[in-house]
Each structure stands twice: as structure tokens, then as C-alpha cells.
Structure 1
Amino acid sequence: MTALLSVRDLSIGFGAGDSVVKGVNFDVEAGQTLALVGESGSGKTISCRAALRILPRTAQIRSGTIILNDSKGTEDLTKISEKQMRNIRGNRVSMIFQEPMRSLSPLHKIGNQVSEVLWLHRGASEAQARKEVLTQFERVGFPDPQRAYDSYPFELSGGMRQRAMIAMAMVSKPELLIADEPTTALDVTTQAQVLGLIKELQRETGMALILVTHDLGVVANMAEHVVVMHKGRVMESGAAAPILTDPAHPYTQQLFNAAPEIPDEDAVGIPMPSEDLILQIKDVSKTYTLRSSKGWQGQQLIHACRGVDLSLARGKTLAVVGESGSGKTTAARIALGAELPDPGGEVLFRTSATEDPITVHRMTRAQRTAFQRKAQMVFQDPYSSLSPRMRIQDAMTEPLEIHKIGTTAEQRAKAAEMLQRVGLNSDMLKRYPHAFSGGQRQRLSIARAMMLDPQLIVCDEPTSALDVSVQEQILTLLENLQDSLNLSYFFISHDLAVVARIADEVAVMRRGLVVEQAPPETLFYNPRHPYTKALIAAQPEPDINRPIDLKLVALGAGSPDSWDDAFRFTDSVIPSLVEMEPGHKVRCHV
């Protein structure tokens, strides 16, 4: 049988340098899923971009052929004209890109950008395209497809923008879909549903899929064939089952060892209770007013957080878990004083067990300056959290300059010390952010947050954009820093395997509400709430014999109206958070 896409002896280089992709070979059959697996910089993405001829200007395909053999004919994609290539891109072959903010136009509404595919390649009218796009938006998990259609990219969360990219690639029903880390920015329940959706579309249309990923759990649930790449070369390839069951190459084994998993019940430590609370969030709600785009419609109230009560013990980690839009980041911003809570809620911060607490949202200017030295944040995206125009040295010393701490020489010495503490060399201070990998940039972000010697660090999805081996390094770094400096972490994540490793207490949020809260050893092995059960069921594991249970995911991740009577809630009827056993709270009707 002739392969739908056949790549032979592909080598790619930049300028006069050595080839970064060397002699790569792989085939993908119609209806088949091929996973390209490896760390950042292994050559996965650039090999796929070569198939669509969307390489950087300085890149050259130095050797090899890329043959597309679909229902419309056979083409060597390295030799056809640009005009012929435009008819293939987005039509016969589509691609889901990893960074949606860079791939979507900030000047056009999401709906128009997705509809453009149907206008250009299908000749659809505006009304026809709108109808198909809204249907696709619903299938990829937009809670309000109409609102998403009329929104600009900056009005959506990272997860929502990624859903729009997936819809854009799939709306034309291509014969080959190249998915470059398509679920990296998504929470696990949405990831499970999107992976299920891609499988369903494959069954309907016979579409082939090239899945570029570092997540072996996703590979185990999706792929029939696997190609493992490292430093531009293929290390191991073949059927998924034998590679995932018994990897032969040491590099593949290394990837498996670094993959995070929810540990066995007896491997989770039981945290000791503490009365020394560094942070308390009491009955915090946050409501935003959304102005309608139509003058005759009234304003809409968005409840980002509702009655959130959380406590963080000094030197411990409180993890807040939930899907995009659940209120995790809003709660963290309120905790840092970046947002004001609605009347009735308060946030208390204690610099030590013996001092009176500070009310974060009622601080004086002097108190706020002191608080900002004690509480810092590490952001989700290491690529956008550092200014591309500032050298690392300037980015690191900026907080010290703002707070007027030390001389210039002392500030630079502190920056060099912090780089070494996070595992980087001090000679990197003169470089710009673009010279670093994603993992190195996240280390730089952590080092910058440490410059003021904080007591509390809010970590907003600090590992979600990183491949598994780098993720392992960052988690180890955070644990070592916590142990040596007695740091307290407010840790936001959608990855339960990461949370199980690092958290002392876990709060699960859905639609602005904490629906379940407990230590990890209780939450993961005795979950009560249907949404918590869905999160655990949606966690992909690198085991081909343990596929994701999509029915259980759909039940818990669906509308609260579909839950059992004991857990069901509406905007007007919300059950209380009830203590089911010591330290284990569940939002339910008693």
C-alpha cells in the first residue's frame, strides 16, 4: 500500500551551518496516526514544516523527498510551485500550531479567521461558513461558540485560542492533519475530548494524523506508529505497542523515566497540618461585567470566582487545579493584590507566624512595596514573560533597581548568584532571551522571581509549555528551592501528575467554585466529586493498555446540569463545601 505521505532522507540546515535534521525517514498511511516524539530541538517540528514549505527564510532542504499521495494525485512537495503549494496548505494538508497567539491575527475576529479556510478552499458563502465554524467550535469544546466567533484572540485564554486553532485546521476536513503539540495549552479534560474528537474525525473521513508531541501518555492513546527523534536524527521507529511496552533505545527509555505519572497510593506522603499560615483567601468572589457588542442587549455578569476559601501553610505548596476559565489565575491575581475581590472577601498575608496579618487589598503604599518583595510570580509562558529587548542581566536586576536595593555591582553579583542557583552559568547574563531554550527561559523566570528573596511564589502553569525531561528538571529545581529557602508555593496547574508530585494540598476549581479540596493522597485515591473523577480519568498515561475513559471524562467535564443530584448546581442554587472526612471537602448537597 502506498503511503499518504512519505519522507525520505530529509536533511535541513540553516545558512552555512551543519544540518539540524539529518537523514530522517518516515511514512504515514491514510487513516493512520504517526507520533513524532522527542524533546524541544530534536527536529520534530521543522521536519513537519518542511512538508508544508513553511520553513524560516534561512532554512534549506538540503536533501530528500516529501511525497504526498492523496485522492487528488501524487506530488513531490519539495519541487512543486508555490501556487500549487497554496492549494495544498489548509486544504489537503492542515497544521495545528503550538503557539496560537503567534499564529492568529490580533486584528481579526476568531470566527472570520477560521471561516477564511472555507471561503478560500471551498468557495463557501459567509452564512454557510459561519454555520460550519460554529458547529466546529461546539465540537472542540467552546462553552459559548457564538461569543468565541465574535471575539478577538486577545479576548480568549490560551486554552481557548488553541481550541480555535484546532477548529481552523479541522474545519476543511483535510486528508492529512499535522498536529504540533496540539494539546499543550489545554487542560486534561479538554485534551481528552479533543483527542477523542480527532479520532472521531479520522474514523469519519479516513484522515491521517502526524502528532508532534513530547507527552508519551498522549502517544499511548493516539498512535499506531512512533518515530523517536533526538538532535535531528531518528533514534527509534516502529509500531507503537512494542516501543511503548519495551523501548530499545536508551533515549526512549530516558523519556519514559521522565514522564510524570500519578504515583501509587502508598508512594504519596501525608503532609503534617500547620497553623503557620502565610496566605489566607477568605470568601473571595470576583465578578466582571461584559459589555454586549449589540447596543440593545444588556450587560452580562461573569463570575470568575465565587466564595473561594483557601489557606497556604508556610513552606508548603497549595495546588489549584481546573480547566481554562475555572478561576485559578483570577484567584492567584487576587492573592497577589493585582485584582480587587468583590466586597465581603479578603486576602490575608503573614510575613511571620508572630506578626499580625496584612490585608492585601487594603494595603498602604509602603505596605504594598514591602509585600511585592515578599510575593512574586512565575508565569506560564517562558517566551513572553521576558522582554526580548532586555539582556538577561538587565531583566534580572530590574526588580532590585525598582526597590532601590544595593549598588550596581551588588545587583549584578546577586543576578549571577541566582543564575547559578537555578542551574545556569553567570556568563549567560549578557545574552538576550532568544538565545535560550524554553526550559532555560523558565529557569530564568524563576531566577528573576527569586531576586527579591520572596517568601511566597505564585507559579502559574510553570511547566505546561515544556517537554517532559525539562519539566522534570524544573519541578526538581522548585522542590530544591523550597527545601533550602522555606518557600511557599501557590501552584496553578491542569496536570494532575505534576500536582501529585509537588502539592501538599489540592483544590479543584470549576466555573469559579472550589468543588473539592484535600491532600493529594486523599484526593487522588478517594475522589468524590464527578469533576475530580473526570480530571483523574483524563490524565494520559504512557501505557497502551490504559486508554483514557472518554465516557467518564465527558460525564464529569460536562455541564453541572448533567451531574448527579447531590453535586448539581446552577447560578442561583450552589451547594456548600462540606467536610466529608477530616481535611476532605466536597461541594455537594447534604
Structure 2
Amino acid sequence: MTTPLLEVCNLSIGFGAADPVVRDVSFRVMPGETLALVGESGSGKTISCRSVLRILPETAQIRSGTINFASASGPTVDLLAIKERAMRAIRGDQISMIFQEPMRSLSPLHRLGDQVAEVLTLHRNLSHTEAKKSVLETFERVGFPDPARVWKSYPFEMSGGMRQRAMIAMAMVAKPELLIADEPTTALDVTTQAQVLGLIKDLQRDTGMAVILVTHDLGVVANMAESVVVMNKGRIMESGPAAAVLGAPAHGYTKKLFAAAPTIPQVANPVERTKSADNILELRSVCKTYTMRAGGWRAPQKITACHQVNLTLERGKTLAVVGESGSGKTTCARIALGAEAPDEGGHVLFRAEANAEPLKIHAMTPAERVGFQKQAQMVFQDPYSSLSPRMRISQTMTEPMEIHKIGTKAERREKAEEMLSWVGLDPSMLVRFPHAFSGGQRQRLSIARALTLNPVLLVCDEPTSALDVSVQEQILKLLEDIRDCMGLSYLFISHDLAVVARIADEVAVMRQGVVVEQAAPDMLFYNPRHPYTRALIAAQPTPDVNRPIDLNLVSQGAGSPASWPDEFRFEGVAAPALTELAPGHKVRCHV
């Protein structure tokens, strides 16, 4: 029998005098195998994996257990018993980890290329030139279109998805024996996710690398894992081969996870919808170009974030903008909220009430801006970054009302308590700080804060991307209920088509700054015409081991626009017009 590469036995971890947060956890990983740790936020997945690398918080105590690592290049060692110097030689070289939050894991003061190359200079003694060559090759393999530009960029110059790709490159560049991937694709769009999962599989074939995959996405598990361990509240609920656990889950908790997983519906016939003339928001001929400094004597480089975007949001409806990281989705959202000005010739119109004179968002006076900010609010992708860690929730919730001079102190407190109840949180939580909440609760707080001013328009920027499936289900249900009760209109930014299929009335698919296809969800999923839309649908993982992701179809649509079929091909921003091929179904193609 083959010796396990990693064997965790009876691991228990606690904090202070409290009960253990991880209790008697045992699992093993064979060489070349992929083991998936599945469970909700707070189930103990991440802290169990961090104990392998001994990077737990200072207050954490390992109360029992052993973690044996059988490297091909040395004897079997107990990672909890060896000295720190020996552990440093293993950490980052033989065992690497991809962290969930790249902005908190990457140094903001160093260029990405130098940070990734540091692994090779420390553990492989490569020269700077050799390390740079290897890093650029790895950048290309994880899907960066311009590796040289990424090499000299700082983390803050990259989007969330791009930073996650850099983290993945850092973990993989040394070709470790064991890769611990903590939600490695949570912040990635589905096409990049499919390519990254394919990349991990390729590296496993090339190097025999084993993988521990920490995830809440059962579709990812079905495509990657040979074995599955399901955790809840620090205990293992169910474990076994992936086909058995996913095909016939025995534990009630595993069944609950399956029931909450969003999927793209199989629609037999598209439903025709009539368009209303009551539009709350319109983007007309919106373009946005940024100038990026090239350094030295080189001329500044112009980057087009979005080009000739025309979007219309009906009152009381949800318009979803879908696309990969860097496609221009968030730029459009910022322009819609007046946080960015469109290039000359672009117009953004907002009507707070039906048949009212439109407000030109791109040309507001200071007084108009104050009024508009009360009527349009944003729910951000990362609630931890958008909530001040130094302010109690009571201050966070009442601050918007104080800024706009709404109500007395008692009335503001009462409104804050009411909004917390709306989002399913107890008003007694107002005395807490943000760090005392889980990810799903913090996202609820962000929604509650946005609702305190009674807006009519809510812009949601990836509000569920970092949440596990059961919490995601709760947040989507909450957003639907609030929209219907308050008559809100949503501009919903996402890369997850399963989420969009559930909540949206209209979907616009963006790629490299232009809208390539636009239709109602059932029409779009029933009859996708553009190669990129087809790639997005093909890349959506499903929790079925018999339906793997078709990487060939994904790579065709997710490739360069110059490689698409003649009907859809374009280069740069010289794209064909958006043409209505059927009532309500627009596709960017040559007619």
C-alpha cells in the first residue's frame, strides 16, 4: 500500500478556555491525489489546513493530534513536532498554499514579479534572470494576457481576479509536492476558474503534486476531487470517494449543501417579455479610457476599460452585467453611480420617479450629487474592506443618516435597528465591531447600511462571490424580498451565471470593455449565440462527476476576440455593432 503524502490524525484546535473549534479531525492525502474539504464558512476547513503549515493565530492552541508529511526527498516528519527552521524549509517549497484573500496576502509595497520570484530565489537558489523567466512562464499559464506588464505591476493596480491569479502563480511556481488551495477560485470568473482548475490538473500530471482543495463550491469538487471530506462546526460529517459522496450523500448536512447550490436552469422555451418605457437608469454611448504610466522615458499607455456601452434598467427590475475580471463591469457600475466620469460623448441618465426629468449623472452640481447619493447606494464585493474596523455597527449604520442630516439621534438608532431586522440580524448586534461577524453576516450589514437612506437604486458589485452556497442562497433570497417589498431597482454585477439566472430580468454579457450579448436570462441560456457567452455557460461547474467542464469549449470562447469565428471576430475596440437578432436578443456580430 502506498504511504500517504500527508496524514492528519485526531487534530483538535481551540482558543483560550473555550471548546475546540476543530475536534478530532482525521484525513489523509495520497501522492498525486486531490482531496476536497467542503463546508460552510466557520466549519473549520481553513484552520485545519493552516495547522499543516503552522501558520495559526498566536492565540490558537493545538490540543491534540499529529500531522505526518512523507516527502519524496526525505524521511516522514511530524509537522507539529519539528523545529521552526526545518518548517521554514518545507513551507512554500514542498508545501505551498493559495490564500483566499490575495490583497491581504500580497505585499502592497513590492511588485508582483519580485514577490513571486522570491520563492525561487529562496528555495531554488536561482538567479534573478532565471527566476524571472520561470515566473513569466507561470504568469502566462495562469491566464495573464500580458505577463511582462504583471511582472512590474503592484497588487493595487490589479483587479481582484488578477490578484488571485498572481497568488496561484506564487504557490505553483516552485512545483510543490502538496498544494493547499483555500478557496482558490472564489474571486475568479468562471472561464478563468475553469482554466485555473485545468492548470492545477496539468501540474498534477506533470509533477505528481497532491492537492487539498478547500471550497464550498460542489461543482468545483465534482471536477477536481477524488476524495471528499465534509466538515461542519469543526467536525467531519461525511467522507469518502467523490463519486459516492456527490452521487449519493448520506448525511443530512451534505444534502442541505446540495440543495443550496445554485445552478443554471434548463429552460425548454424562452419567455417573451415586454419592455417598459419607465427606465430608472440609462447608460448611452459610455466609454472610459485610463492612462497608465509606463515608467522611465516611455510614453504613457492608454487602456480602454469600456467602449460604447448602452444599458437600460427598468424601474423595479434587475439588470445583471456579467463578465470576467477586467471586462469593465465595475467601471460601468462606478460610472452609473457618478464615482467616475465617462469619456466625452457618454451620457448617464437617472430618473428617481416615473416620468421625471432625467438627472445627468455625468454633469451633476454638488447639490444634485448630494440628493442623488441618497437615492442610489452600492453594496460592495468585500464587506470586510467596506466596513470600518474601528467603528461599532451602530456608528456604521447611522453615519449615512448623520451625513445627510436625517432625523434625530434616537430616530437614526431606531432606523438602524429596523434595517438590521430587515436583513435578518438581531438589533442587539449594533454594539459589535465588524470582526465579530461571519462573512455572510458582514454582507448583510453592508446591505442594511445601504438601505438606511431608503434608496430607489441599489448597485450590487459581486455581493455573493465570497460566500458559501448556503449563505449565498440566504443573501439572494434577502435581495429578492427587499426588491419586491421596497420596489428597488438593481444593477447587479457578477461573474456567476447561476446567480444571475436566478435574480436577473435582463443580462448584459461584457468582454474586454464591450457588451457582446444581451437578453433575458431564459432567452440567453436557452439560445446563446456569442462564443464568449457559450464559454461562460460551459465553464459553470455542476455538482455531477459525470458532467466535467468542457475546457476546449471554454478556451475557444474565452480566448482572444481575434481568434473567434469570422462572424464575431474583432481586434482592439473595433468591434462590430450590437445587432438585434431576435426580439429582445442582441448579439455583437457582423451581419
TM range (shorter): over 0.9
Task: Within 5 Å, give how 1:20-39 maps onto structure 2.
Answer: 20-39=21-40
Count of residues paired in the alignment: 589
What is the aligned partner in structure 2 of residue 122 from structure 1?
124
1:22-171 equivalences in 2 (<5 Å) = 22-72=23-73, 73-171=75-173
Cα distance in 2 for partners of 1:355, 1:583 equals 25
Could you tell me which residue of structure 2 aligns to residue 432 of structure 1? 433
Deviation of the 1:273 alpha carbon: 2.2
Aligned to 2:307: 306
CA contact (8 A) 1:180 1:213 kept: yes
Q: Are the equivalent residues in 1 in contact too, given 2:46–2:214 (CA < 8 A)? A: yes
Q: Conserved in 2, the CA contact under 8 Å of 1:169 and 1:177?
A: yes
- Could you tell me which residue of structure 2 aligns to residue 492 of structure 1? 493
Instruction: Report the Cα offset of residue 369 of structure 1.
Output: 1.0
Paired residue for 2:466? 465
CA drift at 1:573: 3.0
Task: Give CA-to-partner distance per residue, 1:215-250, whole Å, 9 cap, x none.
Answer: 000000000000000000000000000110110000
Q: Report deviation, 1:271.
A: 4.6
Structure 1 residue 270, shift from structure 2 partner: 5.5
1:536-547 aligned within 5 A: 536-547=537-548
Partner of 2:198: 196
| C-alpha contact (below 8 Å) 2:341/2:362 kept by paired residues | yes
What SS does structure 1 have at the residue aligned with 2:384? coil
Q: Distance in 2 between matches of 1:53 and 1:270?
A: 57
How far did 1:274 drift?
1.4
- Give the letter aligned to residue 8 of structure 1: C
What displacement does 1:266 show? Answer: 4.6
User: In the TM superposition, what are the counterparts of 1:461-540 in structure 2 within 5 Å?
Assistant: 461-540=462-541
Find the aligned partners of 2:156 and 2:218 in 1 and give their Cα distance: 31
Post-superposition Cα deviations, 1:352-392, rounded to whole Å, max 9, x if no partner, equal 11211111111122211111111000000011110000000
Q: C-alpha displacement at 1:298, in angstroms?
A: 1.3
Deviation at 1:438? 0.4
Q: CA 1:79–1:268 in 2, change beyond 3 Å: closer, same or farther?
A: farther
TM-score for the superposition, normalised by structure 1 = 0.99
Report whether the alignment pairs 1:290 with 2:265.
Answer: no
- 1:293 CA drift (Å): 1.4
Report if the CA contact (8 A) 2:102-2:163 is conserved. Answer: yes
Which residue identity is paired with 1:309? N
State how far apart, in whole Å, the 2-side matches of 1:363 and 1:76 are. 64
- Counterparts of 1:222 and 1:294 in 2: how far apart (Å)? 45
- 1:84-483 maps to which residues of 2 (within 5 A)? 84-266=86-268, 271-295=273-297, 297-483=298-484
Residue 407 of structure 2 aligns to a residue in which SS? coil
Distance 2:100 2:132 in 1: 25
Q: Deviations over 1:376-411 (max 9, x none)?
A: 000000111100000001000000000000000000
Q: CA deviation at 1:527?
A: 0.4
Q: Which amino acid aligns with 1:438?
A: G
| Consecutive aligned runs of 4 or more in structure 1 exceeding 4 Å deviation | 266-272
Alpha-carbon distance in 2 for matches of 1:269, 1:252: 34
SS across alignment from 1:19 = coil
Within 2, Cα distance between the matches of 1:545 and 1:496?
A: 21
CA 1:215/1:267 → structure 2, altered by over 3 Å: closer, same or farther? farther
State the distance in 2 between where 1:57 and 1:298 align.
48
Amino acid at match of 2:413: R
Question: What is the deviation of 1:571?
Answer: 2.2
8 A Cα contact 1:184 1:465, kept in partner: yes
User: Which residue number in structure 2 is paired with residue 570 of structure 1?
Assistant: 571
How far does residue 129 in structure 1 lie from its aligned partner after superposition? 0.2
Q: Following the alignment from structure 1 to structure 2, what is the Cα–Cα distance between the partners of residues 566 and 215?
A: 35
How has the CA–CA distance of structure 1 residues 91 and 67 changed in structure 2, closer, same or farther, with 3 Å as cutoff? same
Question: Take 1:12 and 1:76, find their aligned partners in 2: how far apart are those partners?
Answer: 16
Cα RMSD (Å)? 0.9
Moved more, 71-80 or 441-450: 71-80
CA offsets, 1:468-496, max 9 Å, x none? 00000000000000010110000000000
Q: Secondary structure at the match of 1:383?
A: helix
User: What runs of 5+ residues in structure 1 fail to find an aligned partner?
Assistant: none
Q: Describe the SS at the equivalent of 1:524.
A: helix
Distance 1:572 1:426 in 2: 50
Classify the secondary structure of the residue corresponding to 2:134.
Answer: helix
Rounded Cα–Cα distance in structure 1 between residues aligned with 2:109 and 2:542: 39
Q: Is the 8 A contact 1:271 1:504 kept in 2?
A: no
1:188–1:323: 8 Å Cα contact kept in structure 2?
Answer: yes
CA distance in 1, matches of 2:276, 2:71: 63
The alpha-carbon deviation at position 15 of structure 1 amounts to 1.3
- For residues 267 and 244 of structure 1, the distance between their equivalents in structure 2, rounded to whole angstroms, comes to 30
For 2:262, the aligned partner's letter is P
**So what's the TM-score if we normalise by structure 2?**
0.99
Aligned partners of 2:378 and 2:458 also within 8 Å: yes
Tell me, in whole angstroms, the C-alpha distance in 1 between the residues paired with 2:268 and 2:433. 45
- Conserved 8 A contact 2:270-2:526: no
Distance (whole Å) between structure 1 residues aligned to residue 299 and residue 156 of structure 2: 23
Instruction: Report the residue type matching 1:190 in the other structure.
Output: T
Q: In 1, are the aligned partners of 2:400 and 2:453 still within 8 Å (CA)?
A: yes
Residue 217 of structure 1 aligns to a residue whose secondary structure is helix
Secondary structure of 1:320's counterpart equals strand
The answer to whether the Cα contact below 8 Å between 2:266 and 2:526 also exists between their aligned partners in 1 is no
Q: Report the Cα distance in structure 1 between the residues aligned to 2:269 and 2:430, rounded to whole angstroms.
A: 40
Q: Deviations over 1:556-582 (max 9, x none)?
A: 000111100110111263200000000
Report the alpha carbon displacement of residue 294 of structure 1 after superposing the two structures with TM: 2.7
Name the CA distance, whole Å, in 2 between partners of 1:267 and 1:279.
29
Q: 1:300 offset after TM fit, Å? A: 1.2
**Which residue number in structure 2 is paired with residue 561 of structure 1?**
562
The C-alpha deviation readout for 1:432-481, integer Å capped at 9, x for no partner, is 00000000000000000000000000000000010000000000000000
Q: SS where residue 590 of structure 2 aligns?
A: coil
Distance in 1 (CA, whole Å) between partners of 2:36 and 2:270 is 32
Q: Which ranges of structure 2 fall in alignment gaps of 5 or more residues?
A: none
1:85-122 CA-partner distances (Å, limit 9, x unpaired): 00000111000000001111111111111000000000
In the aligned structure 1, how far is the partner of 2:270 from the partner of 2:197? 29
Following the alignment from structure 2 to structure 1, what is the Cα–Cα distance between the partners of residues 512 and 148? 19
- 1:473–1:269 CA distance, 2 compared to 1 (3 A): farther
Alpha-carbon distance in 2 for matches of 1:572, 1:348: 24
- In the alignment, the residues of structure 1 paired with residue 327 and residue 201 of structure 2 have an alpha-carbon distance, to the nearest angstrom, of 27
Matched-pair contact (CA < 8 Å) for 1:312–1:490: yes
CA displacement 1:185-208 (0-9 Å, x = unmatched): 100000000000000000000000
Residue 265 of structure 1: SS of its match in structure 2? coil
After alignment, is 569-578 or 263-272 more displaced? 263-272
* One-letter identity of the residue aligned with 2:499: V
Percent of paired sites with the same residue? 71
Match of 1:210, SS state, is: strand
Q: Is the 8 A contact 1:270 1:521 kept in 2?
A: no
Match of 2:217, as an amino acid? D
Corresponding residue SS for 1:227 = strand
Structure 2 counterpart SS, 1:484: helix
Distance of 2:446 and 2:68 partners within structure 1? 42
State the distance in 2 between where 1:26 and 1:572 align.
51
Q: CA, structure 1 residues 206+487, in 2 after alignment: closer, same or farther (shift >3 Å)? A: same
1:329 CA displacement: 0.4
